[in-house]
Amino acid sequence: MKNYSIKQMETKKLIIIIVVLVMSLLFVSFGICWFYDNIHYPAYLSTKASCGNWTEEYINELGYMTAGSFNVNEEIYIEILINDSEVIKHELCHQQQYEQGRLFSCKIPLLIYINEIECYIKQKL
């Protein structure tokens, strides 16, 4: 077994700490980028499409498309434009929010945005 001086041991500990911090920073950065691309931005677009004056054509110009919609008049109406399990999960999440009294109107867009975040997270799980 090698005998290390105290200075060498401190240097090795410092290197390990730096490597752990850099790896943690990379992991957190990846998580933030993933959240932005998969949760935040689609939720933002959905909120703007539902409550704003953005048209479907404008959203298509941004490189996105409407995959489904959830409407309630006298009965629940779910339209699936792209037959995909993630889209179905997302729209069923809105149905569950409605049945639980948590599907908010566009009077407060932040609440719609929070609804969308919940559904995009459930869609990705």
Residue that wins the pLDDT comparison between 43 and 8: 43
Residues 29-69 pLDDT 10s? 999 999 999 999 999 988 888 887 787 788 888 888 888 88
Rounded CA separation 111/89 (Å): 20
Whole-number percent of the chain with pLDDT over 90: 38
Contacts for 70 with CB less than 8 Å, ≥ 6 apart: 76, 77, 78, 79, 91, 94, 95, 98
Rounded CA separation 68/81 (Å): 5
Residues 54-108 pLDDT 10s? 877 888 888 888 888 888 887 888 888 888 888 889 999 999 999 999 888 888 8
What the block records as the tokens of 63 is 């490189």
Confidence label for 113 from pLDDT (cuts 50, 70 and 90): very high
Q: Are 98 and 85 in contact (CB under 8 A)?
A: no
pLDDT on residue 6:
64
Q: Are 45 and 111 in contact (CB under 8 A)?
A: no
